Amino acid sequence: MSELACPKCHQPLIRAGRTYKCENNHNYDIAKRGYINLLLNPDKRHNNPGDSKESLIARKAYLDKGYYDPILHEVTHYIQEHAHKEMAILDLGCGEGYYAFKAKQILGDQNRYYALDISKEAINMATRYDQDITWIVGNSKNIPILDHSLDIIMALFTVVNANEIARTLKKDGYMIHVTANKNHLIEIKHLIYDEVHEKSDEFIRQPFPVIESYDFTKKVNINNREDALNLLKMTPHYYHIKKERRSVLDTLEALDITIDLRITVYAPWKQ
């Protein structure tokens, strides 16, 4: 069973050997690394959309150390408490694949796992974690998934499209959205910026009924320069460091950081 849909006509995709095909004869080959590229050219803003390779490598190195596992455990704990016998789960904006990989380890092999990112480089890296996850190069504005076929969407630190969320979730499905609060990584912000401005979350919140919403905060100690630098590089803040501030990187040895998040479970079907 597959929930994959053609990104051109949204008809079901059927696998035949190393190719997926829909009834309108749109064909998509499976890459040597095992992923499927369902990103249409009109969806691309440039040739290599998504996070840079440097950022992805840093993110993988940092997440592999387990620093953000408490966030993952919040998400998977909710899923476990509300689990069906078998579920179709999508990690939206999966990046290099760590969260999808670890979620599958925690939740079990009985579910069907999909993970999508607009970055081909990210998905290519993700395939090294687990070949049994369906890794997809695609756009969150045109999710190549059949209408009302997903039980759960995990969206951690990623922008989502409300129309696509409502279209792809089942009538009893839900999305777990993890977003940053004002004090998330506040220590890094103070290192980099002369003045820290609080941003509104008006455009992050989704227009769906909320099943549950709560703040999650935790202090994390990073005890070596390599991990601290990788954390910096996996955030947009690293690429906004002014020339006169770059000297802070030379003195960086360790870092105590604040995780400050809002975890929201949305249920579009309750509208």
Q: Residues annotated as binding site for S-adenosyl-L-methionine?
A: 68, 96-97, 184
Ramachandran region of residue 155, left (φ > 0), alpha (ψ -120 to 50) or beta? beta
Cβ atoms of residues 265 and 174 within 8 Å: yes
What whole-number distance in Å separates Cα of residue 199 and Cα of residue 212? 23
111-to-1, 86, 89, 231, 249 alpha-carbon distances in Å:
11, 5, 7, 31, 43
* Residue numbers belonging to the annotated binding site for Zn(2+): 6, 9, 22, 26
* Residue numbers belonging to the annotated binding site: 6, 9, 22, 26, 68, 96-97, 184
